[in-house]
Amino acid sequence: MSSRPLSLQSLPPISPTTTPPRSQTTLKPTLPAHNSTAGTPLYISCATNGSRSRNRSPDDYRSTLQALNSKGRVPRKSLGQHYMLNSDINEQLASAAHVEEGDVVLEIGPGTGSLTNVLLNAGAFVLAIEKDPYMASLVSERFASTERFKVLKEDFVKCHIHSHMTLLLGNKKSLDDPMSRYAKVVSNIPFNISTEVVKLLLPMGDIFSEVVLLLQEETAVRLVQSSLRTSEYRPINIFVNFYSEPEYKFKVPRTNFFPQPNVDAAVVVFKLKQAADYPRVSSTKSFFSMVNSAFNGKRKMLRKSLQHICTSIEIEEALGSVGLPATSRPEELTMDDFVKLHNLIVKI
C-alpha cells in the first residue's frame, strides 16, 4: 500500500486561532495527487487526565488527513474504514448514550480518535478496540496524557470482550451506584462487520446497559423497523428484539465521512435487557436454532421447514394451540409467537 501523504490542497488555509467553519465538515473528500502541508497547523487535541473541556473538537477533514499522514496511512477498504468528519455527529452519539462523568465506554474502531475525544471530554473512561495496529498506535499516542483511555490492538469479532469488560468494571465498581456495574458502547463501526457486532453485543446485558452504533442506514432500518409479512423480516429481527429494545435515532448523510461511502448511515440505540427480562424459553440455543430453521426455506410453511424437529401434524397442532393457522409461514410470526411455538414443540 502506498504511503504517499494525502493532500490538503483542496482546503482553504485555516488560522491557528480560528475554528474551522462547520461547512468544511460536509465537504466531499478527494485524494489529490500530492501533498503540500508546509506551515499548516495541526488541529488535533486530546482530553488530558484532569481536563473535561466542552469545546468543539477540531477533528475535521484537514486534521483527519494530517493524522493519517503522520502514520503514512490511507483508509483501508478491507477494514471498512470511513472516518467521521463532523464533530456534531460525535457529540450526538455520546448524547444518545447519555455518556457522563465516570461512565465506562467501549468504542470499536476509534480510528483517529475523533469520537474518543468527545467521550473523554464527557468524563468517561474509554476502552477502545482497534484492529489496525497503525491506528491503534495513533490513538495511543494521541491520548497518552490521560489515564482514562486504553486501546487494545485486537479484532473485535475475535477478542474476549466479555472478559475484558468484566475485569474493567470490577475495578471501577461503586457500591453507591448500582448502574456502575454496567458499561456502554458508543461506536462508529465498520459497516462490513455490523451484523457480527450486533450479534456479539446484544446478549451482554450483564455487562452493557445500552449500545449506540452508527450503522449503514439500510441496516439500521432493517434491524429496527422491519415489519411482519415483508421480505426484510428475518431471524436477526427476532434476535434484536429478544435481547434489546431498539430505537432508530437519526440519519447521517454520507458526506460526513472520509472517504465518502456509497450509502448514508444512521444511529441506532439498543437498550439491552437483563436475563430476567428475556422471553421465557427453555434454551436460547434451541430457540434460535428453531427460528433460523424456520427462515431457511424461503416462503416455506413452518410445517415443512421444521420437520426435522417434529412431524408436520405435531407442528400444525402446536400452531393451532397458539392461535395460528396450520399454513403459517415464518414471516407471519412475531417474536412472542415463536416463543410460544418453541415452548410447545420442545415438549413434544
The annotated binding site for S-adenosyl-L-methionine is made up of: 82, 84, 109, 130, 155, 188
- Exposed e or buried b per residue across 241-259, where buried means at least 16 C-beta atoms within 10 angstroms of its C-beta: bbbbebebbeebebbbbbb
Around 89, how many Cα atoms within 13 Å sit in the side-chain half-sphere? 27
Dist. CA 282–CA 117, nearest whole Å: 44
Which backbone phi and psi does 268 adopt, to 5 degrees?
-125, 135
- Roughly what angle, to the nearest 10 degrees, separates helices 335-345 and 284-296? 110
Provide the 10 A C-beta neighbour count for residue 214: 28
Count other C-beta atoms under 10 Å from residue 263's C-beta: 12
Residues annotated within a binding site: 82, 84, 109, 130, 155, 188
Cβ atoms 250, 216 nearer than 8 A: no
